[in-house]
Amino acid sequence: MSADEFSFISELARFAGQSEESLDLADDGALIGKLVLVKDLVQAGIHALPDDNDADVVRKAIRVNLSDLAAMAAQPKFILLGLCLGTKSKPGQMPALAETIRKECEHFAVHLIGGDTVQGSGPTTVSITAIGEVKHSPVLRSGGQIGDNVWVSGSIGDGALGLKWLQMGQQNPELSKLDAKDTDYLAQRYRWPQPRIALGYQLASLAHCMIDISDGLAADAGHLARASNLSLVIETEKIPVSAAFQNWRNRNGSPAEQWKTLSAGDDYELLFSAPMEARREIEVVAAKTGCPVTRIGHLEAGNGVVLRLNGAVVDWPVSGFTHF
């Protein structure tokens, strides 16, 4: 996000904050009664590959929005689809696109209830409004407490590695050494995010604060830390990675590159904090929902993100990340 965009959103938040439903524009969504509303845009070439077909772009748009609902412990109920077809959109692909939308709705048990479709003159751009319901109240970014454990779901870095594979393929010296099983897995992780809906919903009464990792582990940890006004400490050696990521890491000697990949985003995993006493219950919920979780750190007094490696504080390893 550029400085101009940042100050733009600050300015919007200044007057939007007058309504409690906006949650000060500081969270993943808005709250009207028990309804959580999220709305994220996806554009081909920016959040999806330039040559992805419309079904890929729409699928990704639906899933990243459902991930935002999961991050607020909301059960997805409805979506509205704003579809601006691009100059590369092919009329012949419309039936397949409709079928993709039907399947996504069925898979996630959500109903398509509105929106519109227009032919635009740029790349395909998709705006999803997703609406979910919380049991009692949402989990916000701001609820973290000193002493909380910090947890993350699934594995980190796969989406970024999948994107690199899709962009560079065999031209990337390390990725080209992976077998097809690994590269297929990584590409799939980029293309088909898995919103952690069941996990997020079950964490409603356990988690103090929560976010989904879209901007990257470091950036989103920073969002939680800032909103909770605390310091979020990550024990970097505990960050869970997949077998495919491990295979890539074994072939890549650069810690900077590894770090960059771990924090590049497109994970759509949940990052949350919870009190020490909830540890056992969280593990039960993880087992029940089939979504592994890993403790990677804790919250303490202070502000911002602190990285540790085997107990010692390490400098932020990549200069580009110093803006957190």
Residues 6+ apart with CB under 8 A from 182: 243, 244, 247, 248
The one-letter amino acid at 224: L
- How is 183-208 classified by DSSP, letter by letter? HHHHHHHHHS----HHHHHHGGGT-S
Q: Confirm or reject binding of residue 304 to its own copies (CB under 8 A).
A: no
Angstrom distance (rounded) from CA 41 to CA 298: 32
Q: Which runs of E-coded beta strand occur in 135-180?
A: 149-153
Q: Give the range of 32-40, 176-184, 260-268, 315-323 binding its own copies by CB under 8 A.
A: 32-40
Task: Please state the closest distance from residue 1 (CB atom) to its own copies, in A.
Answer: 8
- How is 262-280 classified by DSSP, letter by letter? HTS-----EEEEE-GGGHH
Task: Please state the closest distance from residue 211 (CB atom) to its own copies, in A.
Answer: 14
* Angle separating helix axes 158-168 and 243-251, nearest 10 degrees: 60
Helix (H, G, I), strand (E, B), or coil: what is residue 188? helix
Q: What are the φ/ψ torsions at residue 176 (nearest 5 degrees)?
A: -65, -15
Task: Please state the closest distance from residue 302 (CB atom) to its own copies, in A.
Answer: 29
Q: Confirm or reject binding of residue 12 to its own copies (CB under 8 A).
A: yes
Q: Confirm or reject binding of residue 131 to its own copies (CB under 8 A).
A: yes
Q: Give the range of 123-131, 167-175, 225-233, 273-281 binding its own copies by CB under 8 A.
A: 123-131
Size of the site for its own copies (CB under 8 A): 64
Q: Confirm or reject binding of residue 43 to its own copies (CB under 8 A).
A: yes
Q: Confirm or reject binding of residue 5 to its own copies (CB under 8 A).
A: yes
Which CB atom, from 30 or from 217, has the smaller least distance to its own copies?
A: 30
Q: Confirm or reject binding of residue 45 to its own copies (CB under 8 A).
A: yes
Q: Confirm or reject binding of residue 227 to its own copies (CB under 8 A).
A: no
Which CB atom, from 21 or from 300, has the smaller least distance to its own copies?
A: 21
Choosing from 48, 97, 152, 234, the residue that interacts with its own copies (CB under 8 A) is 97
HEC string of 288-304 equals HHCCCEEEEEEEECCCE
Q: DSSP code of 153?
A: E
Task: Please state the closest distance from residue 115 (CB atom) to its own copies, in A.
Answer: 5
| Tokens 């100050």 found at | 7
Which CB atom, from 30 or from 152, has the smaller least distance to its own copies?
A: 30
Q: Confirm or reject binding of residue 37 to its own copies (CB under 8 A).
A: yes
Angstrom distance (rounded) from CA 317 to CA 211: 23
Which CB atom, from 12 or from 256, has the smaller least distance to its own copies?
A: 12
Give Cα 43 distance to the centre of its chain: 16
Give me the half-sphere count of Cα atoms (radius 13 Å) on the Cβ side of residue 145: 9
Note the residues at the interface with its own copies (CB under 8 A).
2, 4-5, 7-9, 11-12, 15-16, 18-19, 21-23, 25, 29-30, 32, 35, 37-41, 43, 45-47, 78, 80-86, 91-92, 94-95, 97-99, 101-102, 105, 111-123, 125, 127, 129, 131
